[in-house]
Amino acid sequence: MERVQINEILFNNRKLTIITAAIIVVLIILNLLATRQIIYLNNDGEIALFTLTTVFGYGIGSLILLGFTRYITKDLLDRSVLMRIMYIMVTVIQFSLFGILFFVLYNNVTNCPEYFTVCGGNEYFVIAFNAIASLTTAVIMGIISYKFFTWYKMHKRNFVVLFYGLAATALAISIAGDAFDKLVLVQLVKEDSPDGAIPMASFIYKVFDEYDGAIMYKTVNPDYTTLYLVPNPNLALYNQIIYLTSLSPYILTWIGTAFLLGYYYKKTHKLDFKFWIILAAPLVLYLIGSGLIFSLPADFPYKYYFRLIFRAGTIASSLLFGLAFYLITRNLKSQKVKDYLTIAAIGISAIGIANEVSALQQTYGVAAHSLVLLSSYLFSIGLYSSAISLSHDNALRNTVRKSMLELVQNIGTAQMEKDIQDARNIVMKKAYERETQMRNDTGISPSAQEEELKKYLDEIISEIKTK
């Protein structure tokens, strides 16, 4: 009995889930600002940030978010072997990553507390950590894209499913490309540190002729200096991968979201100017923040302030996307769809920010960046469930319309009122049977409630009577 109550408190608690997600997003934002040199932390600040990211982001927070997701998608996981395997894989890997981070935390605090983030000996643990998180994320997005495309093949003209399938594919390519950049094209160069070297870490992003390449990141501890170097022969490919894979996932996600939120928004509002402002603001801010549309020369005198604007654009676009999802849920009657969209909102708020955190930073940076795994899973499972629920809505409406038209086509005028009422009862029974079948087949409920279907049926009857 007590275990059931604990599960209800922790895993069937939408408010707790939202609060947990908000804390994780704040931690990711702090990591982004620190790794992109917007804010500067001393050694104690870096230890605190890494500890909080590890313990809350990968420990307590992951437990609550994954538990809530498991609770609301239980029927889906019970009916889909692939989705169940994906959930188990994410859970096992997420807590395995927690174990790796905890080891790094213990090692650095024990052996070099005075220069925590540049402590030696963890480089290959961190490389393995980043590789596991990135490759798993790419696999997850690949699975989700496969599920979207399979569903689209069966239900043509469902543009939400199509564009989210394309977005998932593009995101998988983008994450795999980023992993290729960091794990293959970036090389580690170690040198002995000079006597009396002050422990430090800094992002350089400059080409040095003596190294025949661009130094992206540099760490110095009393024993040796580590350079994260992109050799000149790899530099063009490194930049091209970033440029070619960064924009498409966001644009495709934005288009899919426009269709999805437009559908749910129309249930309670007209598609007015307010809706398009809410939807357009994240896109505009992202384009400003991405640096892909315009960039600044290296010697620009106020580059710090423009860098601040760029990062503010990245953060604001992700948060506004999440807010757009959340605002739509407030007026929905279906609790299940509210939960699906809540999970999607959490994922979409975190994924764009986490993906911009530099994984070259060897403690809090790589930890926050690798939260893209958890974020991508929440985003994809929430969107998949929402999109399939929407598809079920369309199927139910088609069933209602088709059944009603078939039943009344031979009804005479004199007996129309009585026979239409009989037909109405038959159609609602068919709709209920169709809804039950879809829920049993997929584990996902339509968002349309009985009242909505009755209202839609009344509209069809009005059309019939006016003909």
pLDDT digits (tens, 9 = 90+) for 354-369: 988 988 898 999 999 9
With 80 as the cut, is the pLDDT of residue 427 above it? no
Mean pLDDT of 226-244: 91
Length of the chain: 467
pLDDT value for 414 = 46
pLDDT value for 413 = 46
Q: Is the dihedral of CA 148, 149, 154, 157 positive or negative?
A: positive
Mean pLDDT of 156-168: 80
Q: Is the dihedral of CA 292, 293, 297, 303 positive or negative?
A: negative
- Strand-pair category, 187-192 with 224-231: antiparallel
With 80 as the cut, is the pLDDT of residue 184 above it? yes
With 70 as the cut, is the pLDDT of residue 247 above it? yes
Say which range, 9-13, 91-95, 212-216, has the weakest mean pLDDT. 9-13
pLDDT category of residue 442 using cuts at 50, 70 and 90 = confident
Distance between CA atoms of 57 and 24, rounded to whole angstroms? 6
> Mind listing the pLDDT tens digit for each residue in 269-283?
666 677 778 777 777
Tokens found for residue 164: 């989210």
Phi/psi of residue 435, nearest 5 degrees: -60, -45
What is the pTM (predicted TM-score) of this model? Answer: 0.81
Distance between CA atoms of 287 and 291, rounded to whole angstroms? 7
Say which range, 61-70, 337-346, 388-397, has the weakest mean pLDDT. 388-397
**Residue indicated by tokens 């025949």:** 212
Q: Of all helices (H) and strands (E), which one includes residue 205?
A: strand 200-208
SS3 content of the chain, % helix, strand, coil (to 5): 75, 5, 20
205 Rama sector, left if φ>0, alpha if ψ -120 to 50, beta otherwise: left
pLDDT value for 7 = 63
Give the whole-number percent of the chain exceeding pLDDT 70: 78
Q: Is the dihedral of CA 299, 305, 309, 314 positive or negative?
A: positive
**Closest among 344, 290, 293, 279 to 315, alpha carbons compared:** 290
pLDDT value for 450 = 66
Higher model confidence: residue 207 or residue 400?
207
Angle between helix 303-329 and 232-265 (nearest 10)? 30
Residue 203 pairs with which residues in a beta bridge?
Answer: 217
Rounded mean pLDDT of the chain? Answer: 81
DSSP SS3 for 222: coil
- Strand-pair category, 213-220 with 224-231: antiparallel
Tokens found for residue 173: 């390519």
Contacts of 354 (CB under 8 A, 6+ apart): 28, 368, 369, 370, 371, 372, 375
Higher model confidence: residue 135 or residue 435?
135
Strongest mean pLDDT among 120-124, 149-153, 187-191: 187-191
Tokens found for residue 43: 């050694």
Starting at the edge strand found earlier in the chain, the sheet holding 224-231 runs 187-192, 224-231, 213-220, 200-208
Higher model confidence: residue 253 or residue 390?
253
Q: Name all contacts of 99-108 with Cβ < 8 Å and 24+ positions apart.
A: 100/125, 100/128, 100/129, 101/50, 101/53, 101/54, 101/58, 101/129, 101/367, 102/54, 104/363, 105/50, 105/51, 105/54, 105/363, 108/363
With 80 as the cut, is the pLDDT of residue 12 above it? no
**Closest among 308, 39, 196, 217 to 48, alpha carbons compared:** 39
Tokens found for residue 112: 């070099």
Give the whole-number percent of the chain exceeding pLDDT 90: 27
Mean pLDDT of 62-81: 90
Contact in structure between 316 and 285 (CB atoms under 8 Å)? yes
pLDDT value for 453 = 67
With 50 as the cut, is the pLDDT of residue 107 above it? yes
**Closest among 53, 60, 63, 56 to 30, alpha carbons compared:** 53
**Closest among 72, 54, 86, 77 to 7, alpha carbons compared:** 72
Say which range, 58-72, 193-207, 241-255, has the weakest mean pLDDT. 241-255
Q: Which amino acid is at 151?
A: W
| CA-derived radius of gyration, the chain | 26
Angle between helix 372-408 and 232-265 (nearest 10)? 40
> Mind listing the pLDDT tens digit for each residue in 115-145?
998 887 777 778 888 888 988 999 888 888 8
